[in-house]
Chain A
């Protein structure tokens, strides 16, 4: 073996190493990934999603990694496999909704169905942000996918974005989950600004008891109404209501347990890693994702305003007033937004327990954001 052969061997080995191909853009993405992992681990901000998303961003921003491409045999590589079959095929968001349905108690909404209007009002930001995005030069489909961030519903955001503007998936999902985690910071100042002391101390009558029969009928009635009016959202709503029917029927405990725990945990891992892995520096380091982040904040703010304003408008016509502090809960960050309503209410009256009242609009917000997404899909197509 000659010296040249030895040199070639070493060179060949070094050429397969990524260390010589690392770039400043990758290092910057590591920092961004680290920030989101910090938010998840240290600050406990939506850790179930932000941790796998953060790690997905981290791991895909290495040179020469076989993760988001295709093998020489034409098979998708590891994360590409999760992304293709889970997200491109729009399976994962629907399975997550199955789990969410199995964990949700619609009792507070059934007991006070007029909270559905608050859930609708809280979608205001979705449409305002859409207009802002269009004025900023986004295409209509991109604008719709960014607007839905304000619905504060991760699976709905991911489902709609994958359908209309898959190139924005990473930025939209990251914005949605980050702002959902920051709801306790974003909403209280708006709630206090929009309400008077007298309004904040409105005590609401205790919610009536909801029978098991009503809870069983609810997913069936919701499925009929929403899917007849917005068929485009059938995959999401159908799975959501199926999960809820599992729970409320009381006869399929194993399916309920699996849907709400093991299955949801599995798809959450695949979802987080896949979404994070779409954020290669070449796709993320551009003005659009940064703009999406700032618009996401505006979206949440306007949605909160929409929810509170809707309650104040309803109070003009109702004899029994609703505490407008629960209007923010129309932003469907369940149950965080409802807890914010309760916490802010407690600051003004320690004996005012708003949590269960706020769960009504919180759950209505899930329906509202799904309806808004369905209307966008019907408008722009898939």
Chain B
């Protein structure tokens, strides 16, 4: 009987481990969460902790390192990792009951995609400069043409 009780107590104490978050490719995750979904590329865990506590957890985890960037997105915080770890980002999203933390794997698709976007952005910046220059060019061309015509008439 005693053995049965001990076994039941042990099972009861060990059961939270099934609900506890696992490490995702080395990305730190707070303990005590419930895994919502998990694939090779992403793992989503729900927590009852507050949004502020979740942020504080990660600020403590990454204290002193320059390889992380925290980006505030209103109801979410996106943490990007810039060294060569297997994971790339952690997204902390506010939910009704607490927060959801999504850890994502590093991927060349993200890298290539974001670079393509930025290469395109260089074009946009220079096109934005091109437009006023072109307008200035047209206006000055007309002024010069008028002056030349006035000179010719005189």
Using a CB–CB cutoff of 8 Å, the interface residues on chain A facing chain B are: 109-111, 113-114, 116-117, 119-121, 123-124, 126-127, 130-131, 134-135, 137-141, 208-211, 213-214, 217-218, 221-222, 225-226, 229-230, 364, 367-368, 371-372, 375-376, 379-381
Contact = CB atoms under 8 A, between A and B. Distances in A.
B56 to A, nearest CB: 21
Interface residues of B, number: 32
B82 A127 contact: no
A134 B83 CA distance: 9
B118 interface: yes
Residue of B118, B129, B141 with highest tally of chain A CB at under 10 A: B129
Contacts of A111: 137
B57 interface: no
Nearest to B70: A381
Interface string B36-77: 000000000000000000000000000000110100000000
B91 to A, nearest CB: 17
A131 B119 CA distance: 12
A166 to B, nearest CB: 10
B140 A127 contact: no
B112 A131 contact: yes
Interface of B: 66-67, 69, 82-84, 108, 111-112, 114-116, 118-119, 121-130, 132-134, 136-137, 140-141, 144
Given A135-B108, A139-B84, A123 B129 contact: no
Contacts of B66: 141
A131 B132 contact: no
Closest 6 CB pairs of A and B: A113-B133, A140-B82, A116-B126, A371-B125, A127-B115, A120-B123
Contact of A137 (B82, B84, B127, B133): B84
A372 B136 CA distance: 25
Contacts of B123: 117, 120-121
A126 B84 CA distance: 19
Contact of A381 (B69, B115, B140): B69
Contacts of A109: 133
B129 A367 contact: yes
Given A135-B108, A214-B140, A221-B136, A120 B118 contact: no
B111 to A, nearest CB: 6
28 contacts: A109-B133, A113-B137, A114-B134, A116-B127, A116-B130, A117-B123, A120-B127, A123-B122, A126-B119, A131-B112, A131-B115, A134-B111, A139-B83, A139-B84, A140-B83, A208-B141, A214-B137, A218-B136, A230-B125, A364-B126, A367-B125, A368-B126, A371-B122, A371-B125, A371-B126, A372-B122, A379-B118, A381-B69
A214 B136 contact: yes
A279 B55 CA distance: 39
A131 B111 contact: yes
A372 B118 contact: yes
B119 A124 contact: yes
